[in-house]
Amino acid sequence: MRRWLLGAAWITLPVTAGPGIAEGLRSWGGAPQVVGSVLCWIGWALGLLACLAPRPLGLTAARALAPAGVVVALVATARGDISTVAAIGAIAATLVAAVLVADPAFAELTANAVSYGDEQRYPLRVPPGLFVGPLPLARAVLVGGLVAGPLFLADGHLMWGIVALALGLPAAAVAAQVLHRLSRRWVVVVPAGVVIVDPMTLADNTLFPREHVQVLRALRGDEEPGLALDLRLGATLGSVLFVFDEPAELTKMLRALRRAETVKAPSLLVAVAHRQAMFASAARRRVRIEVSDPGATPQRV
């Protein structure tokens, strides 16, 4: 249902947000107006493709394009000669699309679109600290690096256009690579056990066979992680504790030193979107799950 809501919201953007943005672009006049309109249509088409044919790459694109659409709507409707109805429609429609794109359900849909056989993928939660600055900045660099050059050239600023292309395209490529790592962070439940896929913390995808997973359980809010290897990167909602019968060997990424390090962990922590669904999927594959409730007796599923 959420997928179709997102698709409906995005496919109607030319009707809901288009008039307000078009009115704002008219003030540019000439070639900049034409190029701006073409870029808006390209962005809309790419977002629509991401919504109707979900893939991790499409998730990266949609989560960069949707906030950019909100910014375009705000800038375009800032002029006083734009009708109130058109301005409100453009801002509201782009905000709705941005909220739906940020839904973890959309991330789960894109992850499972590329799954193999009998497996189920559950996205890891985005570290909340990234929302303060790094994530918006990376998205701005990605979109801005692609559109700045054509807009400068259309406005007749040849030198600035060439500089924007020379600097913006490589910067956009780097930003896209960084953002795409966030779209490929999953807990994958497979018949043999559970796999952690996280290019931001692990150098390699790591399988934890169910025979060696002593238990999977939720980490309580007031519980200390102890000796667990914490891969949450600051996220706390949906925390899941993996407890092993013997220390598991992982290759951990050390970003500051730009190298990997092999570590042994008796347990580890991740933060998963849709934790209960992940527990149910793991239980069906005979992974031991402990469901605990304050004031209730722990159960094994």
pLDDT tens digits for 185-202?
999 999 999 999 999 999
What pLDDT, in 10s, does the model give residues 210-219? 999 999 999 8
Phi-psi map region of 193: left, alpha, beta (phi>0 left; psi -120 to 50 alpha): left
State pLDDT tens for residues 103-150.
Answer: 999 999 999 999 888 899 999 999 998 988 899 999 999 999 999 999
- How large is the average pLDDT for residues 29-57? 93
Buried b (16+ CB within 10 A) or exposed e, 18-47: bbbbbbbbeebeeebbebbbebbeebbeeb
**Taking a C-beta distance cutoff of 8 angstroms, is the pair 77, 90 a contact?**
yes
Q: Which residue has the higher pLDDT, 30 or 146?
A: 146
Report the SS3 class of residue 240: strand
Tell me what pLDDT residue 292 has. 61
Q: Say which amino acid occupies 58.
A: G
Q: Is 157 strand, coil or helix?
A: coil
Residue 131: DSSP 8-state: G
Across 29-52, average pLDDT = 93
Task: Tell me the pLDDT tens digit for each residue of 227-251.
Answer: 899 999 989 899 999 999 999 988 8
Distance CA 232, CA 230 (A): 6
Q: What angle do CA 178, 182, 183 make, to 5 degrees?
A: 115
Whether 286 has a pLDDT exceeding 50, the answer reads: yes
- C-alpha distance from residue 286 to each of 137, 177, 270 (Å): 43, 36, 20
Bridge partners of 263, per DSSP, are 250
Place of tokens 């700045």: 148
**Residue 202: left (phi > 0), alpha (psi -120 to 50), or beta?**
beta
Nearest by Cα to 43 from 183, 146, 168: 146
Q: Give pLDDT, residue 295.
A: 37
pTM of the entire predicted model: 0.87
